[in-house]
Amino acid sequence: MSSSENPIGVFDSGIGGLTVVGELIKILPYENIVYFGDTARVPYGNKSADVVRGYAAQDTKFLVSIGVKMIVVACNTASALAMDVVRAHSNVPAIGVIDPTVQEAVRLAGELGIGVIGTLSTINSCAYSSAIKQANPSLNIITKACPLFVPLAEEGLFEHPVADLMSREYLSGFPGRIDVMILGCTHYPLLKGPISRSLGGKIKLLDSGEVTARAVRELLTAGNLLNSRRSKPRYEFYVSDFPQKFNEIAERFLGRELEFVRKVQILSDRIT
Ligand code: DGL
């Protein structure tokens, strides 16, 4: 198999990265994809940088062992804390979600500014605020960690009253002086309804899925790595804990049956 036929490797702590996979499938319909969701260790977002970097190294090595042609870190927390680790452990191009999302947010921002919600670790890392400031120092930036959104999404409670309650708790007092709200966690687009309602429906919500998928397409094109075979692509999903729940939520979100879902084992130094 030529390297352009090799799959794109995508990882996240759990189901959140599927919001990126959904967009990859839409705009790159002939690409094979291998997804790893670290469901045994989710959430990443309230763990220390050292721990997340260790997980990211293992996740990367696992995808590399499968023979991926590119790594997409579909997790803001790992993108904020561990892109250097991912690059150090891979021999293929790697891309995170933060840079493409910031570029788009800065393009969309009007006079008011940009809001960013994400996990504790992403917000505390200041990865978003620094990148936005670098791109446009005059933009107002307001950030807030919303840690309970991840377990809600992992439970599949996308349109449940508890998701509305939680969104109101986190966001109803959110300072209104922003034009764009970055959903700085790949789980959050699954809760777009409640998040949008709690912000009064007026602020544009930007998630990493579409912009990252476009950046992946550009990278593949530039590296001459687009799959030229026009056959039905193969999608493989690996998780580190029970596959049943992941399977059910993933099928609901992606709107397709998953033909290949497998549980892998996390050893002290690797995933196998
Ligand atoms: N979906 C991931 C992110 O974008 C991780 C969430 C978590 O595991 O806490 O940050």
What's the gap in Å between 229 CA and the centre of ligand 1?
Answer: 33
User: Domain boundaries in the chain?
Assistant: 3-96+210-263, 98-208
Q: What angle do CA 211, 185, 214 make, to 5 degrees?
A: 10
Strand partners, 37: 12, 239
Going by alpha carbons, the residue nearest to atom 8 of ligand 1 is: 43
User: Residues 85, 271, 13, 37: is their CA dihedral positive or negative?
Assistant: positive
Tell which atom from ligand 1 comes closest to the C-alpha of 13: 8
| Cβ neighbours for 116, distance < 8 A, ≥ 6 positions apart | 123, 128, 129, 132, 141, 142, 143, 144, 181, 182, 184
The CA 234 to ligand 1 mean position distance, Å, reads: 25
Active site includes 146? no
Summarised one tens digit per residue, pLDDT across range 10-40 is 999 999 999 999 999 999 999 999 999 999 9
Cα of 122 from ligand 1 centre, angstroms: 9
Contact 87, 63 (CB under 8 A): no
Among 143, 79, 84, smallest CA distance to 117 is for 143
- pTM for the predicted model, two decimal places: 0.95
Mean pLDDT value of segment 216-231 = 96
Model pLDDT, residue 271: 81
Mean of per-residue pLDDT scores for the chain: 95
In whole angstroms, what is the distance from residue 140 CA to residue 240 CA? 40
Indicate if ligand 1 lies below 6 Å from the C-beta of 77: yes
- What are the E-state strand segments in 131-187? 140-145, 180-184
Whether the per-residue pLDDT at 87 is higher than 60: the answer is: yes
Higher pLDDT, 57 or 1: 57
Q: Is 71 or 172 the better-scoring residue by pLDDT?
A: 71
Q: What is the mean pLDDT of residues 160-173?
A: 95
Catalytic hit among 25, 28, 75, 181: 75
Domain 3-96+210-263 in this protein, CATH class: alpha beta
252 vs 99, residue with greater confidence? 99
Give yes or no for residue 44 CB within 6 A of ligand 1.
yes
pLDDT tens digits, 181-204: 999 999 999 999 999 999 988 899
Decide: 19 in ligand 1 pocket, CB within 6 A: no
pLDDT for 145 equals 97
Q: Which CATH class for the 98-208 domain?
A: alpha beta
Residue to substitute in 98, 116, 120, 150 for testing ligand 1 pocket (most ligand atoms within 8 angstroms of CB): 150
* Angle (CA) 21 157 74, round 5°: 25
Instruction: Calculate the CA 125 to chain-centre distance.
Output: 16
76 lines ligand 1 (CB under 6 A): yes
Residue of 185, 190, 207, 240 to mutate, ligand 1, most atoms within 8 A of C-beta: 185
* Residue 228 CA, distance from chain mean position: 26
Q: Measured between alpha carbons, how far is residue 49 from residues 83, 115, 165, 211, 271 in Å?
A: 12, 23, 30, 25, 20
The partner residues of 243 in beta bridges, in order of sequence, read none
CA 20 to centroid of ligand 1, rounded, Å? 12
> Is 24 in contact with 34 (CB distance < 8 Å)?
no
Q: Is 126 a catalytic residue?
A: no
The SS3 call for residue 191 is helix
In sequence order, the 6+-apart residues with CB closer than 8 A to the CB of 98 are 76, 79, 80, 127, 128, 131, 184, 208
Helices 18-27 and 208-222 pack at an angle, to 10 degrees, of 50
Token pair, residue 205, equals 């919500």
Predicted confidence (pLDDT) at residue 236 exceeds the cutoff of 90: yes
Beta-sheet strand order (sheet of 70-73): 94-96, 70-73, 8-12, 33-37, 235-239, 261-263
Is residue 143 very low, low, confident or very high in pLDDT (cuts 50, 70, 90)?
very high
Is 258 within 8 Å of 249 (Cβ atoms)? no
Query: Which is catalytic among the residues 185, 190, 191, 220?
Result: 185
Higher per-residue pLDDT: 240 or 173: 240
Q: Which atom of ligand 1 is nearest to the CA of 118?
A: 10
Q: Does the CB atom of residue 184 touch ligand 1 within 6 A?
A: no
Q: Would the CATH topology of 3-96+210-263 be identical to that of 98-208? A: yes
Among residues 19, 13, 22, 14, the alpha carbon closest in space to that of 51 is found at 13
